[in-house]
């Protein structure tokens, strides 16, 4: 999988800011970050090979409270997709980092930040759309900014009151509203932040994906399932068919306070 990802995300010249690009390509290929990435990608591929549900899974490096220099090492290694939890952090990183990065917003989004988030040109996807009101707000912001946006619906697979997300019973109805009423949004997947190692929660997410794809005639191979983190990504792949696992500390080490 490492070789496949490496080929997929080969660095490209950034004519807009070539000097910035070069500064990001100076990290050592033997750094701890790169070593960790290679190990994680190998473990992910082993889980994919064992799984009957996940034909392919990718690692999303999570940059929440991570030193920018460490993120640069991952970029120099060839990573182009990164996940960020906070609006202000994402806005600042997007301005300081090369423009060929595809940013995933993976934190809780306040509706009043929707328009500001949409002004980030290389925002790739918002994975945490946890209600239809927010979906409509993002759709309106897309129209104002004359762009489209990929989104995931966030599901509360564990039923914990402390977790954001749609109740599983409301996912199909929410998907219908997004598909038919939010024409500037592209529904690309489901996402969940469940209990660590919750195999039943992973299985539930896989069933929701299957049911949604069947109901709306979506190719399941092109519909993402973002579940699993540093602590349980292998279970997420094997039991839930994860196509994306969000890994931060196992790549970059402990976060800053």
Report the range of poorest mean pLDDT among 25-34, 161-170, 219-228.
25-34
What's the mean pLDDT in 144-163?
A: 93
**38 domain residue, yes or no:** yes
The whole-number average pLDDT for the span 153-160 is: 93
pLDDT value for 244: 98
Using the predicted structure, report yes or no on whether residue 255 has a pLDDT greater than 90: no
**pLDDT category of residue 256 using cuts at 50, 70 and 90:** confident
If you average pLDDT over residues 165-180, what whole number do you get?
97
The CATH number of whichever domain residue 31 belongs to comes to 3.20.20.10
pLDDT at 4: 40
**Distance, CA of 141 to CA of 148 (rounded, Å):** 9
Please tell me the predicted confidence (pLDDT) of residue 30.
Answer: 55
What pTM, to 2 d.p., does this model score? 0.87
Asked if residue 216 is part of any domain, the answer here is yes
Neighbours of 62 (CB within 10 A): 25
Domain that holds residue 122: 2-252
Nearest by Cα to 251 from 67, 87, 92, 40? 40
Establish if 27 belongs to a structural domain: yes
Residue 240 lies in a domain: yes
- 1 is written with which tokens? 């999988």
Give per-residue pLDDT as tens, 211-240.
Answer: 999 999 999 999 999 999 999 999 999 999
User: Is residue 257 a part of any domain in this protein?
Assistant: no
pLDDT of 80 reads: 98
How many residues make up the chain in this entry?
257
CA 230/CA 72 separation, integer angstroms: 20
Which H or E element spans position 92? helix 87-96
Report yes or no on 50 lying in a domain. Answer: yes
CB 251 within 8 A of CB 35: no
Does residue 103 sit within a domain? yes
The number of helices, as runs of H, and strands, as runs of E, in the chain is 11, 8
For residues 103-124, average pLDDT: 95
Q: How many domains does the chain have?
A: 1
Tens-digit pLDDT profile for residues 83-106: 999 999 999 999 999 999 999 999
Q: Is position 157 within any domain?
A: yes
Mean pLDDT of the chain: 89
- Per-residue confidence (pLDDT) for residue 2, from 0 to 100: 38
Confidence of residue 9 (pLDDT cuts 50, 70, 90): very low
Average of per-residue pLDDT across 25-42? 79
């Amino acid at each position: 999988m490492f070789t496949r990802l490496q080929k997929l995300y080969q660095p490209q010249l950034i004519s807009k800011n070539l000097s910035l690009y070069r500064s990001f390509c100076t990290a050592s290929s033997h750094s701890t970050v790169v070593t960790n990435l290679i190990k994680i990608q190998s473990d992910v591929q082993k889980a994919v090979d064992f799984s009957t549900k996940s034909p392919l899974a990718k690692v999303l490096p999570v940059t929440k409270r991570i030193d920018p220099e460490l993120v640069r090492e991952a970029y120099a290694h060839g990573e182009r997709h990164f996940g960020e939890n906070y609006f202000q952090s994402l806005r600042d990183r997007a301005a300081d980092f090369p423009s060929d990065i595809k940013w995933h917003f993976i934190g809780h989004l306040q509706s009043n930040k929707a328009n500001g988030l949409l002004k980030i040109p290389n925002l790739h996807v918002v994975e945490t759309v946890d209600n239809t009101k927010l979906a409509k707000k993002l759709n309106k912001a897309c129209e104002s900014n004359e762009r489209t946006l990929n989104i995931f619906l966030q599901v509360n697979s564990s039923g914990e009151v402390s977790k954001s997300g749609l109740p599983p019973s409301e996912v199909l109805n929410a998907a219908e509203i997004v598909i038919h009423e939010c024409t500037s949004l592209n529904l690309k997947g489901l996402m969940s932040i469940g209990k660590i190692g919750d195999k039943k929660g992973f299985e539930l997410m896989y069933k929701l994906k299957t049911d949604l794809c069947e109901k709306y005639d979506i190719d399941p191979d092109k519909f993402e399932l973002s579940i699993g983190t540093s602590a349980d990504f292998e279970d997420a792949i094997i039991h839930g068919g994860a196509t994306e696992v969000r890994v931060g500390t196992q790549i970059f080490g402990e976060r800053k306070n």
